[in-house]
Amino acid sequence: MDGKEVRGTGLYRNWISYFGALVVLASVLMITGTLIAEFSLKSPSPYIGIFTYMVFPGVLIGGVVMFFFGMRHESLRRRRAKTKDALPFPKVDLNDPRMRRKFAYWLVGGGFLAVLMAFVGYNAFLYTESVEFCGTVCHTVMEPEHVARLEGPHARVPCVDCHVGNGVSWYVKSKMSGLYQVYAVATGDYERPIPVPVKNLRPARETCEECHWPNKFFGAQLQQNPHFRYDEANTPEQVSLLIKTGGGTPNLGQKAGIHWHMVVDNVVEYAATDEKLQDIPWVRVTHNDGSTKEYIDRKAKVTEADISALPKHKVDCMDCHNRPSHVFVPPETGVDKAGESGSISMTLPWVKKLAVDSLVAEYPDKQTAHDGIRQAFTTYYGDRYPNILKTRAADVTQAVETVTAIYDRNVFPAMNVNWKTYASNIGHRNWKGCFRCHDNEHVTKDGQVLSNDCTLCHTMPQRSALMPLGSVAPASDRNWHPWELKGRHAEVLCSRCHEAGYRPPTECAECHKLDKKAPMMADGCDSCHSTPGVRKPVTECKDCHESLGELHKKEAHSAENCLTCHKPHGWKVPARETCQGCHEEKKAHYPDQPCAKCHNFKGS
């Protein structure tokens, strides 16, 4: 193109700038259209915001860059051509009326774009701070957290108030982190489930304490929990207890209770061996007089050198209230609350057990779960209570819908999220929680123990009939647990039986993984285990089996311990291998036949 005359004097007269101008014009029209749609619709799609404040403005900026790139390219071309008919640089002469008009057009057009981009940019900032952006744009990825938040106590608190907080530095950190998250979502390169951001979580003093003031916590709180038993009548009960909230400063009340741990007058530090902060082998307490105590878990397989190398954490709100907004309600709790509210009719026989069992089953996706829950109810009542399906079909249907809703509220197969995914440290019923430290195993060098005594943090639970809201149960000697905890059972941590995502065992065989159909199981554990809750001592077999038949009387057999042949909880001799443990020479003797077919042990 060198040496050829270039028509026109404007540097924008080239196909690159023309295309850039076309892109800018199209972007302006699209932004205007989506703005009108967003402000006119009552519930616009979250993706309208994505296009209005992010995609289309990005295209517009790209068009502007392309427009000026074309002008620069044209300028370079003219300089190489050394033409005198078309200037290689813009010429501005406001004394020329024609030039003044062009300048005015540029000024108005540029001003319009500047105002539009300022408006869009500010709203883009607001949009990226919105709950809609955090929870619904990345629908599958953030669905578990978003759904849980809507049902939680902080449903009206914007995500950024807790996850970002005030200040420029944390805002910049969050946006820089967000850039990678956008890339991860776009490419599908993200973990399932999303891990809890423990490593880079902002201190609770800079977020939680913007609303919750630790210095003002004191006193106790009454907690009344509905409970229905796993029996045919779904026996309704209520478990009441006083939570000793207390406080860490004596200014407003007793310096005691759960909030004694707060960083007010006392400092509690700990070290964990896992990223989720569930396994804590070391705790240090610093009192307001400067004295300290160090507690080490005597069961932990760590050395002092290992503990020294572990990062130390100072206890704050989030160490106990680690799921303050995104709460996944355990299946048993969800069913109990639904029963109390009337969403599930507890007059349906065995509905509590049926509902919880159908919830804790594993399903590959939500549709399969919905079908499985419905099938569990219709099959159970169809086989055992056919009249229920005929006369109370509406109650069964409502129960199925409620149980399905509990499932959808807490389980998200696409993200591998269920009740067992995220530990909740508040309390100790479904997770270790308080027992991470208060387990009777953390001791000082002089033998002081971090006790797991119930009354440190709450009064002993009191079991009563289900009562109206606010009613206080009268004093009772009734055992707070459905059955009295004795022996080893009194030492087992609550979360061992009430682990989130499982139905708590209602029979010995369930917890101890025994065959319910095995001989003597119907007689009860105490028929052999003489002390409740303790494995030994056991009753001698001969105390019940006084007379033994046939080969039992033979000298070799009578001298043996019964357990040599009869394994506990199975009792029946299962196969030839047991006999061949002593009679090895008989391996080839009718090898396909059980020994008892010919050798009589029972007698006639």
The answer on 235 and 185 residing in a single domain is no
pLDDT of residue 38: 76
**Top mean-pLDDT range of 54-68, 201-215, 518-532:** 54-68
The answer on 28 and 74 residing in a single domain is yes
Q: Record the tokens describing residue 185, joined without a space.
A: 């979502």
- How far is 271 from 157, CA to CA, in rounded Å? 31
pLDDT of residue 3: 45
Residue 45 confidence class, pLDDT cut points 50, 70, 90? low
pLDDT of residue 590: 82
Q: Is the pLDDT of residue 120 over 90?
A: no
Residue 161 confidence class, pLDDT cut points 50, 70, 90? confident
Question: Residues 116-143: what's their mean pLDDT?
Answer: 81
pLDDT of residue 405: 96
153 vs 524, more confident: 153
Q: Is the pLDDT of residue 406 over 70?
A: yes
* Lowest-confidence pick of 34-48, 147-161, 303-317, 514-528: 34-48
- What's the whole-number average pLDDT of the chain? 84
Q: Are 370 and 361 in contact (CB under 8 A)?
A: no
Question: Residues 78-82: what's their mean pLDDT?
Answer: 82
The answer on 340 and 285 residing in a single domain is no
552 vs 255, more confident: 552
The answer on 442 and 295 residing in a single domain is yes
Is position 496 within any domain? no
Residue 604 confidence class, pLDDT cut points 50, 70, 90? very low
For residue 594, is it left (φ>0), alpha (ψ between -120 and 50) or beta?
beta
Residue 46 confidence class, pLDDT cut points 50, 70, 90? low
Is position 516 within any domain? no
Is position 511 within any domain? no
Burial of 396 (0-12, 13-18, 19+ CB in 10 A): buried
Is position 285 within any domain? yes
Is position 281 within any domain? yes
Among 75, 93, 128, the domain boundary falls at 128
Is position 499 within any domain? no
Q: Is the pLDDT of residue 185 over 50?
A: yes
Q: Are 143 and 185 in contact (CB under 8 A)?
A: no
Question: Residues 579-597: what's their mean pLDDT?
Answer: 82
- Domain range spanning residue 335? 331-415
Q: Record the tokens describing residue 353, joined without a space.
A: 């057990």
The answer on 440 and 317 residing in a single domain is yes
pTM across the whole model: 0.78
HEC letters along 90-143: CCCCCCCHHHHHHHHHHHHHHHHHHHHHHHHHHHHHHHHCCHHHHHHHCHHHHH
pLDDT tens, 307-330?
999 999 998 888 888 888 888 999
- How far is 53 from 50, CA to CA, in rounded Å? 6
Question: Residues 174-191: what's their mean pLDDT?
Answer: 82
Q: Is the pLDDT of residue 42 over 60?
A: yes
Question: Residues 347-358: what's their mean pLDDT?
Answer: 95
Q: Is the pLDDT of residue 8 over 70?
A: no
Is position 9 within any domain? no
pLDDT of residue 483: 79
pLDDT of residue 1: 42
Q: Where are the alpha helices (DSSP H) in 207-254?
A: none
Number of domains in the chain: 5
Among 171, 201, 231, the domain boundary falls at 201
pLDDT of residue 254: 63
The answer on 456 and 314 residing in a single domain is yes
Residue 159 confidence class, pLDDT cut points 50, 70, 90? confident
Task: Reduce the DSSP state of residue 172 to 3 states and report it.
Answer: helix
Question: Residues 65-87: what's their mean pLDDT?
Answer: 84
The answer on 449 and 317 residing in a single domain is yes
pLDDT of residue 6: 43
pLDDT of residue 464: 87
CA distances to 47, 56, 122, 235, 302 from 119, rounded to whole Å, are 18, 13, 5, 61, 58
Residue 269 confidence class, pLDDT cut points 50, 70, 90? very high
- How far is 375 from 358, CA to CA, in rounded Å? 9
pLDDT of residue 250: 66
HEC letters along 140-156: HHHHHHHHHHHCCCCCC
Is position 483 within any domain? no
> Phi/psi of residue 224, each to 5°?
-125, 110
The answer on 454 and 314 residing in a single domain is yes
The answer on 452 and 311 residing in a single domain is yes
Q: Is the pLDDT of residue 35 over 90?
A: no
559 vs 341, more confident: 341
Question: Residues 160-170: what's their mean pLDDT?
Answer: 80
**Top mean-pLDDT range of 210-224, 247-261, 443-457:** 443-457
Q: Is the pLDDT of residue 2 over 60?
A: no
pLDDT tens, 529-570?
878 778 888 888 877 877 777 777 777 777 778 888 888 888
The answer on 254 and 356 residing in a single domain is no
Among 84, 102, 128, the domain boundary falls at 128
Task: Reduce the DSSP state of residue 17 to 3 states and report it.
Answer: helix
The answer on 394 and 270 residing in a single domain is no
Residue 5 confidence class, pLDDT cut points 50, 70, 90? very low
pLDDT of residue 110: 84
pLDDT tens, 427-482?
888 899 999 999 999 999 999 999 888 888 888 888 888 888 777 777 777 778 88
- How far is 263 from 277, CA to CA, in rounded Å? 19
Q: Are 70 and 18 in contact (CB under 8 A)?
A: yes
Q: What percent of the chain lies above the pLDDT cut of 90? A: 28
Q: Is the pLDDT of residue 173 over 50?
A: yes
pLDDT tens, 370-392?
999 999 999 999 999 999 989 99
Q: Is the pLDDT of residue 7 over 50?
A: no
Give the total residue count for the chain: 604
Question: Residues 393-414: what's their mean pLDDT?
Answer: 95
Q: Give DSSP secondary structure letters for 32-48.
A: HHHHHHHHH-SS--HHH
The answer on 441 and 406 residing in a single domain is no
